[in-house]
Amino acid sequence: MQALCHHLDSIAESGTRLDGPLPKIRSLERLVDSLQRLLHRIESDQRESLELLTSNRLVARELGRTYALLNSLSIGSLLLDNTEKIQFANEATAPFLTVAPNQAHGQSVRGVLKDAEVLALLDPGGEAAATRWGRSTELPADPESGREDTAVSLSSVSDENEEPVGQILVFQPITQIKSMEKIQTEFVDSVAHELRTPLTSIRAYVELLIDGETTDKQMQHDFYNVIYEETYRLSQLIDNLLNISMMESGTAKLDVTPTRLKRLLEESLEVVRPQCEKKNIDLVADLDDRLPTLDIDKSLFNVAVMNILSNAVKYTPESGTVIVTTSSRGEEYHIQVRDSGIGIPEEDLPRVFEKFYRSDSAKAEQGSGIGLPTALQIVRLHGGDIHATSKVGEGSEFTIVLPRTLINTSIGE
Chain residues in the site for ligand ADP (CB under 6 A): 307, 311-312, 315, 339, 341-344, 352, 358-359, 362, 367-373, 396
Of 101 and 367, which CB lies nearer to ligand ADP in the complex structure?
A: 367
Q: In the bound complex, what is the minimum distance in angstroms from residue 395's beta carbon to ligand ADP?
A: 7
Of 223 and 356, which CB lies nearer to ligand ADP in the complex structure?
A: 356
Residues 386, 217 contacting (CB under 8 angstroms): no
**Which residues contact residue 194 at a Cβ distance below 8 angstroms, ignoring those fewer than 6 apart?**
233, 237, 366, 367, 368
Of 152 and 312, which CB lies nearer to ligand ADP in the complex structure?
A: 312
Residues 203, 209 contacting (CB under 8 angstroms): no
The distance from CA 183 to its chain's CA centroid, rounded to whole angstroms, is: 18
Distance (Å, whole) CA 120 – CA 235: 51
Q: In the bound complex, what is the minimum distance in angstroms from residue 162's beta carbon to ligand ADP?
A: 40
Q: In the bound complex, what is the minimum distance in angstroms from residue 310's beta carbon to ligand ADP?
A: 8
Q: In the bound complex, what is the minimum distance in angstroms from residue 264's beta carbon to ligand ADP?
A: 19
Of 57 and 182, which CB lies nearer to ligand ADP in the complex structure?
A: 182
Of 107 and 336, which CB lies nearer to ligand ADP in the complex structure?
A: 336
Q: In the bound complex, what is the minimum distance in angstroms from residue 377's beta carbon to ligand ADP?
A: 11
How many CB atoms are closer than 10 A to CB 185?
Answer: 10
Q: In the bound complex, what is the minimum distance in angstroms from residue 413's beta carbon to ligand ADP?
A: 28
Alpha helix segments (H runs only) across 113-260:
116-121, 127-130, 174-211, 217-248
Residue 97, Cβ density class (10 Å: 0-12 exposed, 13-18 middle, ≥19 buried):
buried
> Phi/psi of residue 370, each to 5°?
-120, 0
The distance from CA 303 to its chain's CA centroid, rounded to whole angstroms, is: 20
- The angle formed by the CA atoms of residues 108, 111 and 117, to the nearest 5 degrees, is 110
Tally helices (H) and strands (E) across the chain.
Answer: 10, 12
Q: In the bound complex, what is the minimum distance in angstroms from residue 153's beta carbon to ligand ADP?
A: 32
Q: Work out the angle between the directed axes of helices 28-72 and 2-14 (0-180°, nearest 10).
A: 20
Q: In the bound complex, what is the minimum distance in angstroms from residue 268's beta carbon to ligand ADP?
A: 15
Distance (Å, whole) CA 304 – CA 81: 47
Of 246 and 392, which CB lies nearer to ligand ADP in the complex structure?
A: 392
Length of the chain: 413
Q: 105: which DSSP letter?
A: T
Q: In the bound complex, what is the minimum distance in angstroms from residue 231's beta carbon to ligand ADP?
A: 17
Of 134 and 341, which CB lies nearer to ligand ADP in the complex structure?
A: 341
Q: 330: which DSSP letter?
A: T
Provide the 3-class DSSP secondary structure of residue 145.
coil
Of 173 and 395, which CB lies nearer to ligand ADP in the complex structure?
A: 395
Of 122 and 372, which CB lies nearer to ligand ADP in the complex structure?
A: 372
